[in-house]
A and B are shown apart, each in its own frame.
Chain A
């Protein structure tokens, strides 16, 4: 029994423990709450034992095979871990560990009081189910096990989404299910096509047969796979389901799913497009009647995914929805970096998976802490919380610097690498698109931090306290990770270079502080030192030479000579970017929403039509059907 088997056993036994305690020992559920992080610590330790997958030395295997095998339709099913699986798995387990830490303290108590002990157990169960199914997907070694894992992941996400009983959450979950089923059908069709071409669903055999496919065969295959996986990732034009569904799940679910759940789509895209069909081919496969090739189409899909959801996030008036929309938008950078498929860009895309998981989890935690204290995440009802919750504010500032991609936090490194590869690759238009996406990110994270923490404190929030320690500790730990991996990205690039080797990309030259390029690399340690030197100069001027700052009350403020009182709210948060919306507001046309509605009504119209025909004129329709079938049969028999 090797480490991978142990990982599955630990993971599944965690599930069994939660189910048994939830069903038979409901009084012990409080202990379950306290000890639930241990379920993930065990998995994390086993993953660390498997770290030889990425810290490669002589004699270490590039793959760990699971010992159990199944056979289906004469095809062996296998599960295995390689560097790519390990990279995604460790992010998954660490994200789940932080979500469980967050859930095991005061937040969980509060949730149990507000709902029920049963609902709280279900939340634990949902998190475990998600982790289990993701590990199963990440370990998949052929298309059947990939499909099984894929379906488990979809249903586990759905399970998590419906834990919120509100109507908006239930509707979003149903919508997700429709999308996920569409994706699964596309995936199934692609698998059938693959089976038709290569006669097997084993990766090795498929990889061989992929190398001599014509472009007429590859293009539909790529379309089917990308549709199947991009739906999970929320890539344009399938971005509509994700944000509401993730934002409305209970906080630990939002933390976990916002951090990693959607990236399973990216994992599957990497497996299929990089490991099976080499990305090198795509630059030479032209789309008929256009000047595009498959690679540039994928890159532009990534670029549009950075722009459109980010600017939708800019218009959100609820902190959770704003963050969830960013989760969709940041996926575009990952896809964009990977599709460029050079050593810098692909490493940037993969690094962004890790970085995004860290700051997105931290951001959802801060919003959950604010919601715990104030009861709302609506921007119109918040403001000025920095004096009451300074540590939460600090975590949010660290995380939004990461999200906006500014130094010295980790988001900067990965975004810099994506930009750099776009420039080196000679793609100025894609570069501009990525920068436009970042501009929208900066604007909306400023909106987030301003409307929550800066500005005027409301009267009803004068007495609130800092977030409790059980929420603060995971938040501060994540903030530390965000900073440390920003200053020393080499720590994570250690994992990424083996992943690049595993998916057949050229490896990146790097060191602890950044990356090495012939045309000028990046050294975050120096950059951070210079940045802090600047801060130090500013601090000397402000505190030592100046030192005459005077603190005034928030009502002793200039508002055109107006006398401010508690009755007059002077916090500008509603319709925050009115001036910007005056310029770009006309471009928000809801085209995708209308397209979605049109498809929905078309399908329901056709189904009603069919139903009406069938019900109204059953004998006639039966005769027509028989006649058509007969004619078709005769035609095939005669001419076929």
Chain B
């Protein structure tokens, strides 16, 4: 969500009185930007550019980026190509299972505007209608240098405190849910209680709720975690 609000045009507004006031925040952001775990959920043909980017030639790991097999421990969701409607359901499920802060990178033109599949009936064209995307890396396919450039852009955003697209998913959940329902039907639901999480992160906003969340509330069955209990 690179809107104008995110561009620091009014730098003198947040004038520092105490130079140490934000030092911990900055330190945490610095650390976060240098320890990014990337979920292996690769769609489409862009995935073929990741092995060279990860391995010795371009070596992402020198930037602190390494692959991770589960969404619970991962920071980055890479969507590396066209996303069919069926795949998109899985991508959204996986994204919601990730823990905040979490970042989405759309690689390849297909994620930007559908690319060569723009006429297809079965592909989601613009990824950021369904998920908040931090960085797009256009190209068909982008070379590893471009991938790494995009990842460095994300790192820079995180370090400057601008990698906040994940908050947008909670703040404007109704918008994203609406687009998802438009594609998958009104009975669409995932196991994750997004509104509950929005309350937990204190990110509830006006647009969190709307007519689409009402539709969801009508049929959503919350999955209560099993608690360990001693019953005789």
Contact = CB atoms under 8 A, between A and B. Distances in A.
B230 A555 contact: no
A554 B191 CA distance: 10
Contacts of B160: none
Given A553-B191, A558-B72, A558-B97, A387 B226 contact: yes
B15 interface: no
B224 interface: yes
Interface string B70-87: 111000000000000000
Q: Which of B41, B91, B230 has the most CB of A within 10 A?
A: B230
A495 B225 CA distance: 49
Interface in B208-232: 223-232
B230 A390 contact: yes
Interface of A is mostly: loop
Contact of B223 (A387, A457, A555): A555
Contacts of B123: none
Given A465-B231, A556-B192, A561 B41 contact: yes
Nearest to A554: B226
A457 B90 CA distance: 23
Contact of B232 (A457, A469, A555, A558): A469
A88 B106 CA distance: 70
A109 to B, nearest CB: 15
Contacts of A212: none
A555 B225 CA distance: 9
A49 B41 CA distance: 69
B224 A465 contact: no
A563 B93 contact: yes
B231 to A, nearest CB: 5
Contacts of B192: 556
A552 interface: yes
A69 interface: no
Nearest to B193: A556
Interface in A372-390: 386-388, 390
B94 interface: yes
A561 B90 contact: yes
Interface in A204-261: none
A615 interface: no
Q: Which of A387, A468, A556, A562 has the most CB of B within 10 A?
A: A556
A551 interface: yes
Contact of B227 (A457, A466, A551, A560): A551
Q: Which of A391, A560, A561, A564 has the most CB of B within 10 A?
A: A561
A391 B226 CA distance: 16
Q: Which of A387, A552, A553, A560 has the most CB of B within 10 A?
A: A552
Interface residues of A, number: 22
Contact of A553 (B72, B93, B223, B230): B223
Contacts of A556: 97, 191-192, 223
Given A466-B230, A466-B232, A553-B226, A561 B91 contact: yes
Contact residue range for chain B? 20 to 34
Contact of A468 (B71, B91, B93, B232): B232
Interface string A539-556: 000000000000111111
A558 B94 contact: yes
A267 B227 CA distance: 47
Interface in A124-183: none
Q: Which of A386, A558, A562 has the most CB of B within 10 A?
A: A558
Nearest to B222: A553
A553 B225 contact: yes
Interface string A460-499: 0000011011000000000000000000000000000000
Contacts of A564: 191
A473 B231 CA distance: 15
A457 B227 CA distance: 12
A558 B71 contact: yes
A387 B226 CA distance: 7
A87 B91 CA distance: 63
B102 to A, nearest CB: 14
Contacts of B70: 558
Contacts of B191: 552-553, 555-556, 563-564
A592 B47 CA distance: 51
B72 A387 contact: no
B220 to A, nearest CB: 13
A560 B39 CA distance: 11
A391 B228 CA distance: 10
12 contacts: A387-B229, A390-B230, A466-B230, A466-B231, A468-B232, A552-B191, A552-B223, A553-B225, A554-B226, A556-B97, A563-B89, A564-B191
Given A390-B229, A552-B225, 7 more contacts: A387-B226, A387-B227, A387-B229, A466-B232, A468-B232, A553-B191, A555-B223
Interface of B: 41, 70-72, 89-91, 93-94, 97, 191-192, 223-232
Interface of A: 386-388, 390-391, 457, 465-466, 468-469, 551-556, 558, 560-564
